[in-house]
Structure 1
Amino acid sequence: MKILIVGAGIAGPTLAYWLRRTGHEPVIVERAPRLRRGGYAVDFWGSGFQVAERMGLAPRLHEEGYRFLEAREVSGSGRRIAHFDPLRLIDGYGGGYVTILRSDLSAAIWDALQGEVETVFGDTVRSLHDDGDRVLVEFAHGSPREFDLVVGADGLHSLVRSLGFGPEPEFERDLGITVAAFDLEGYRPRDELVAVTHTVVGALTLRIGLRDDSTMFCFMFRHEGETPQDDLMAQQQLLRDRLRDVGWEVPTILEQMPRARTFFMDRASQILLPSWSRGRIALIGDAAAAPSLLAGQGSALAMVEAYVLACALHEADGDHRAAFAAYQSRLQSVVRTKQDAAIGMGSAFAPRNRAQVLLRNVALGLMNVPLIANLAIGRSLRDPIVLPPAPGS
Structure 2
Amino acid sequence: MPPTQILIAGASIAGPATAFWLARAGFQVTIVEQATELRRGGNGVDIRAEALAVVDRMGLSPAIRARALANNGMRFVDRNDRQRARYAAADIEKLVGSEDIEITRGDLSHLLYHATESDVEYIFGDSVTALEQDDTGVNVTFAQQPPRRFDIVVGADGIHSGVRRLTFGPEARFRVFKHHYYAVASADLAVGERHWTTFYNEPGRSAAVYRGEPGHGLINFIFHSDDPINYDYRDTDEQRRLLRGAFGDLGWHVPALLDAADSAPDFYFDALDQIKLPSWSTGRVVLVGDAAYCASPASGAGALLALTGAYRLAGELGAHRSAHEAFARYEAAQRPLVTGKQAHLFTYITVPRTRLSIAGRNLFLSSPLPKVLSRISGESPKYLHDYASQIASRDE
TM-score (normalizing by structure 2): 0.92
- Which residue is equivalent to 1:64? 67
Give the SS at the match of 1:242: helix
State which of 4, 25, 35 in structure 1 corresponds to 2:7.
4
Give the aligned length. Answer: 386
Q: 1:374 to 1:138 in 2, by over 3 A?
A: same
Residue by residue, what CA displacement relative to the aligned partner does 1:27-85 show, whole Å, maximum 9, x if unpaired? Answer: 10000001122321122211112111111111111110123224210011000010132
Give the SS at the match of 1:294: helix
Q: 1:94 to 1:67 in 2, by over 3 A?
A: farther
- Which residue is equivalent to 2:251? 247
Q: 1:57 to 1:96 in 2, by over 3 A?
A: farther
- Which residue is equivalent to 1:350? 351
Is 1:105 the counterpart of 2:103 in the alignment? no
1:375-386 pair list within 5 angstroms = 378-379=378-379, 382-386=380-384
State how far apart, in whole Å, the 1-side matches of 2:101 and 2:231 are. 30
Deviation at 1:248, TM superposition (A): 1.4
Deviation at 1:366, TM superposition (A): 3.4
State how far apart, in whole Å, the 1-side matches of 2:79 and 2:66 are. 34
State which of 269, 278, 286 in structure 2 corresponds to 1:282.
286
State which of 283, 300, 312 in structure 1 corresponds to 2:304.
300
Tell whether the 8 Å contact from 1:38 to 1:264 is kept in structure 2 after alignment.
no
State how far apart, in whole Å, the 2-side matches of 1:177 and 1:52 are. 31
State which of 246, 264, 272 in structure 1 corresponds to 2:276.
272
Tell whether the 8 Å contact from 1:154 to 1:287 is kept in structure 2 after alignment.
yes
State which of 73, 88, 93 in structure 2 corresponds to 1:90.
93
- Which residue is equivalent to 1:387? 385
State how far apart, in whole Å, the 2-side matches of 1:363 and 1:65 are. 29
Q: 1:256 to 1:107 in 2, by over 3 A?
A: closer
Give the SS at the match of 2:149: strand
State which of 320, 324, 335 in structure 2 corresponds to 1:332.
335
- Which residue is equivalent to 2:202? 200
Give the SS at the match of 2:270: strand
State how far apart, in whole Å, the 2-side matches of 1:259 and 1:322 are. 48
Q: 1:319 to 1:70 in 2, by over 3 A?
A: closer
Is 1:24 the counterpart of 2:23 in the alignment? no
Deviation at 1:361, TM superposition (A): 1.6
Q: 1:367 to 1:137 in 2, by over 3 A?
A: farther
Tell whether the 8 Å contact from 2:190 to 2:211 is kept in structure 1 after alignment.
no
State how far apart, in whole Å, the 1-side matches of 2:29 and 2:9 are. 10
Identical counterparts, % of pairs: 34
Deviates further, 212-221 or 131-140: 212-221
1:42-191 pair list within 5 angstroms = 42-90=45-93, 96-185=99-188, 187-189=189-191, 191=193
Q: 1:184 to 1:67 in 2, by over 3 A?
A: closer
State how far apart, in whole Å, the 1-side matches of 2:126 and 2:196 are. 40
- CA RMSD across the alignment: 1.9
Q: 1:347 to 1:84 in 2, by over 3 A?
A: closer
Tell whether the 8 Å contact from 2:191 to 2:253 is kept in structure 1 after alignment.
no
State how far apart, in whole Å, the 1-side matches of 2:272 and 2:48 are. 21
Structure 2 gap segments, 5+ residues each: none
Tell whether the 8 Å contact from 2:364 to 2:370 is kept in structure 1 after alignment.
no
Letter in 2 for 1:313: L
State how far apart, in whole Å, the 2-side matches of 1:89 and 1:144 are. 48
State how far apart, in whole Å, the 2-side matches of 1:43 and 1:349 are. 16
Q: 1:359 to 1:48 in 2, by over 3 A?
A: same
Letter in 2 for 1:392: I
Deviation at 1:312, TM superposition (A): 0.6
Letter in 1 for 2:385: L
State which of 39, 55, 58 in structure 2 corresponds to 1:36.
39
Letter in 2 for 1:370: K
Deviation at 1:114, TM superposition (A): 4.1
Tell whether the 8 Å contact from 2:192 to 2:211 is kept in structure 1 after alignment.
yes
State how far apart, in whole Å, the 1-side matches of 2:10 and 2:18 are. 11
State how far apart, in whole Å, the 1-side matches of 2:368 and 2:36 are. 43
Tell whether the 8 Å contact from 1:178 to 1:227 is kept in structure 2 after alignment.
no
- Which residue is equivalent to 1:363? 364
Deviates further, 207-216 or 319-328: 207-216
State how far apart, in whole Å, the 2-side matches of 1:365 and 1:44 are. 26
State how far apart, in whole Å, the 2-side matches of 1:231 and 1:89 are. 36
Deviates further, 345-354 or 231-240: 345-354
